[in-house]
Amino acid sequence: MSEKRPTTRSSLDRELRAIEDDMLRMGEMVDEAIQGSLRALAERDRGLAQQIVDGDARVNKLRFDIEEACLALMATQQPAAGDLRTVVAAMNVVGDLERMADHAAGNARIVLRMGDEPLLKPLIDIPRMADVCRSMIRDSLQAFVRRDGERARQIAAMDDQIDGLYQQVFRELLSFMVEDPHTTSRALFLLFAAHNLERIGDRATNIAERVLFMTSGVMRELNPEPRESHDLQ
Amino acid sequence: MAESNQAKIVVEDLSVYYEGTLAVADVSLVIPERRITALIGPSGCGKSTFLRCLNRMNDPIPAARVEGRILLDQEDITGAEVEVDELRRRVGMVFQKPNPFPQSVFANVAFGPRVLGMAGRRAQLAERVERSLTRAALWDEVKDRLNDNALSLSLGEQQRLCIARLLAVEPEVILMDEPCSALDPIATLKIEELMRELSQRYTIVIVTHNMQQAARASDLTAMMMLRDDRAGGVIEVGPTQTIFTRPRDRRTEDYITGRYG
């Protein structure tokens, strides 16, 4: 809690802060998984990829721990208004973070599956997508702990960059496959990797939406435009 | 929702003075018919004083003076010409401590109808007593004990008996001043269930210190607080769900999240 207020609820405040700290820690784990999976892809490091796949269980466990802390807080402290919205938002955020870690682990699995096949092309836009994802996650979690709804709104707009990059990657890989169908499997590996990052961007947008809900009490979708037809889900 | 309902009581610019000191200031509030309106706020902010204006319970206090208007079904009830006994029949009150008469269960419920000449023949009175006890969710518990002294009932039963006693004179509005503060949690929940049931026929206004009770049991919540001039006022009113999830006023937020004072 950034704001100093009368402290008749110091144990509630302490529990809320612990939940937020754990959420930030979970955000760092997700950030490392995204960064690591990209490095594993670029450097074809299967050992690193395996580490990331294995590490996903820790993220899942932390998510359940945080959810349990949220439930215990609701049952024992009866939070209302802003406190209640914070706890509910935190429960949603950790769900999104957990899914992001799954997508990062998905990219590590792609590295394992590619075996020794060389990359179809040098990585340019995919690392850019990963960079934007990572800033969105970091900034939206900061906006959460600072109760900064305005910042959350700006973060959601960053998802457009990810979507733009994804479309670029999609078109480029499609042209490879059309020109030479033998490249299809290698193109699809990269397309799946880009797709996972695109999903991570959507999840980061969800976090920004939760921050806005927490600060304003209004539940609203920030990027409500319909999905592109080539979306793989 | 509460707002769409018709107004039962409209309070306009109500101020209450005790010995010349302003105790409650400029309260304007619409109390919807057949809904439960909760008044919350810290001790001494004028909730009970305000509640007591709604059936002129402050009248016997000579030093109290009321300004403004209180319209019950569009008629002002603050004037000297108002028949206060009839007003209190229409607008009954349940108090913090159950206060049954030290008589039989039956006599307690029959008391009001007898005094007001509503008793009719014996069978009619018995029917009225049974109906009132049934509506107060007490009949099944006391039907074999109607001649027992009311003080032999548990506190929760006594409080429901007081509600039955009030229902026997066919009120329109029920005022409740901390009706559960002397009761255990189960008896409290029974009263809350009963309030929900009663709100299908009656308009209920409850003063409570228990915020979870206001959150659980009311449709509309009015937050009262002392102003800078030490007089109590209403600072925010809204659907209970809104007040407890996203109040507009910072002071309401601080109070319901337990960060007041």
Nearest-Cα residue of chain B relative to residue A216: B246
The model's pLDDT over A88-103, given as tens digits with 9 standing for 90+, comes to 999 999 999 999 999 9
Domains parsed from chain B with CATH numbers: 2-100+172-256 (3.40.50.300)
Mean pLDDT of A148-156: 94
The model's pLDDT over B88-140, given as tens digits with 9 standing for 90+, comes to 999 999 999 999 999 999 999 999 999 999 988 999 999 999 999 999 999 99
What mean pLDDT value characterizes chain A?
92
pLDDT band, residue A223 (cuts 50/70/90):
confident
The model's pLDDT over B185-242, given as tens digits with 9 standing for 90+, comes to 999 999 999 999 999 999 999 999 999 999 999 999 999 999 988 999 999 999 999 9
Which of A78, A87, A147 best tests the B interface by mutation, with the highest count of B CBs <10 A?
A78
- Cβ-defined contact of A80 to B246 (cutoff 8 Å): no
Check: complex ipTM more than 0.90: no
B79 shares contact with chain A (CB less than 8 Å): no
DSSP string of A128-197, one letter each residue: HHHHHHHHHHHHHHHHHHHT-HHHHHHHHHHHHHHHHHHHHHHHHHHHHHHH-GGGHHHHHHHHHHHHHH
A194 pLDDT above the threshold of 60: yes
Residue B1 is predicted with a pLDDT of 43
A34 min Cα distance to partner chain B (Å): 35
Nearest-Cα residue of chain A relative to residue B252: A81
Residue A7 is predicted with a pLDDT of 65
- Cβ-defined contact of A80 to B215 (cutoff 8 Å): yes
B20 pLDDT above the threshold of 90: no
Q: Is B116 exposed, middle or buried (0-12, 13-18, 19+ CB in 10 A)?
A: middle
Mean pLDDT of A187-201: 97
Residue B261 is predicted with a pLDDT of 62
A1 pLDDT above the threshold of 80: no
CATH topology of domain A10-216: Methane Monooxygenase Hydroxylase; Chain G, domain 1 (1.20.58)
- Cβ-defined contact of B253 to A5 (cutoff 8 Å): no
Residue A232 is predicted with a pLDDT of 46
- Cβ-defined contact of A9 to B212 (cutoff 8 Å): no
